[in-house]
Structure 1
């Protein structure tokens, strides 16, 4: 009788062990799903066209959740509702994480739509006339980018003491053609092309308005900290899914899609220097 009881206990132990093994396998299977968050438009397209197919080849199921603002993608990431997001540059990520007490980290930078100077009046930067009006973003970060484009084009000179990330009109030492600056909300800059001489339009707003990046008189030489990033929770930086996302973005297949589908996007330094 004791022998039978022992055999029953052994059988039950093996059964429980088998159940535990199946449960562990199910968890590993669940880890083969990645939920990406991105703002609707070019960066959600970048996920579906350039990143998702490569991850699917690695055996992942990829779900995309689109957002219409710049607040919810980071909240969803911090809450664990998504695994990674793609919509923000480094400066925004660091500022948002600090203000909201989040532990977020960049995984890798990606090709990003640059700001451009657009005009329906002038055919080139050389044609810009004395006293022309240019609409610029009314937020400090994007305004600084606009002023740096104008400096690169030789239309203004900026004080050597100015911080490139916070350049404003007060930092202009010389305004070669006496340009007049009209700060407006960034989302209105595409329409401003119709009403002012020039408009400095961030790439994401240009694309949302169905503008062709290559129609710009000039595109910015974008500092790398303004390029968008794939962002994850800091605790997941060494997770296998994060490593696989990074490997996907670094692949030749990813760059081939960028060259074909995202013309005009500025590539990050790591992509140019490899």
Structure 2
């Protein structure tokens, strides 16, 4: 009987010790950092993706992340894939565009971090100054809602048209033009089409990314640059459920790092890039 009590006491002690050790290990496991992640990025070409590859990806790779790139022929396809969870991030849209996309496609994309942006501007391949404008001239502008709004705001800022003051500049559309004193023919078309029809236009409003992708800088003259607002800054976009993941925070840190800012100082001699406010 005495020996049985001794063995029961030892067994109870070992049980307590086992439970304590198990709890400690369990607590330790829950504090482990998130496992390193392969970041799947949607790519549609252009300088925003190029900037990511040259200045951001190296920072992430130093931290142990791998970047897998998935190419899309159109940015909307990239955004659709992001909304469906098939990719983790893309870098080529501004918040105003994202807001409209979320509304129309019922997605929950959010801006992770603002990145350097290239403004949308008023150009001409035929003329050099605003004063060259004549009645009845043709102006090509983007047709997607967010960039069309930018174009109407830019034309209003140039004094060529007047728009409804009760409508936000990021939501302007053709119906909001209240005065067109020069009887301008404003043609909405796909942004990527504009560089190919310069001969048919007198002036054109083109996003900076399209100008660079089409390599038409030497064919056009800058007439007026848009005033870049917070809503029009290019952002790295993710789904809302991912914005606090370690890999997402790493992307944000990379864009805000001293290393990235130093890179921009060395590679922005012509002040093409506008830094986030």
SS at match of 1:116: strand
Q: Which moved more, 1:148-157 or 1:160-169?
A: 160-169
- The match for 2:253 is 247
1:19-75 deviation per Cα after TM superposition (whole angstroms, max 9, x unaligned)? x99xx8xx9785243222232121220210121112123332223333221233234
Q: Which moved more, 1:181-190 or 1:167-176?
A: 167-176
CA distance in 2 between partners of 1:78 and 1:193 (Å): 35
- The match for 2:55 is 50
Highest CA radius of gyration, 1 or 2?
A: 2
1:63 pairs with one of 65, 68, 73:
68
SS at match of 2:244: coil
- The match for 1:207 is 212
Q: Which moved more, 1:243-252 or 1:95-104?
A: 95-104
- Within 5 A, what are the aligned runs for 1:250-265? 250-261=256-267, 263-265=271-273
- Within 5 A, what are the aligned runs for 1:137-152? 137-152=142-157
Is 2:274 aligned against 1:266? yes
1:170-219 deviation per Cα after TM superposition (whole angstroms, max 9, x unaligned)? 43344354433223332211123222211111223222211229942222
Structure 2 unaligned spans of 5+: 1-17
RMSD (CA atoms):
3.2
SS at match of 2:169: coil
CA distance in 2 between partners of 1:254 and 1:237 (Å): 20
CA distance in 2 between partners of 1:55 and 1:88 (Å): 21
Count of residues in correspondence between the two structures: 251
Is 2:161 aligned against 1:153? no
The 3 A distance-change label for structure 1 pair 66 and 261 is farther
CA distance in 1 between partners of 2:39 and 2:65 (Å): 7
CA distance in 2 between partners of 1:104 and 1:140 (Å): 18
CA distance in 1 between partners of 2:246 and 2:200 (Å): 51
Contact kept? 1:77, 1:84, Cα under 8 Å:
yes
SS at match of 1:217: strand
Is 2:42 aligned against 1:37? yes
Q: TM-score scaled by structure 1?
A: 0.77
Shift of 1:128: 2.4
Q: TM-score scaled by structure 2?
A: 0.76
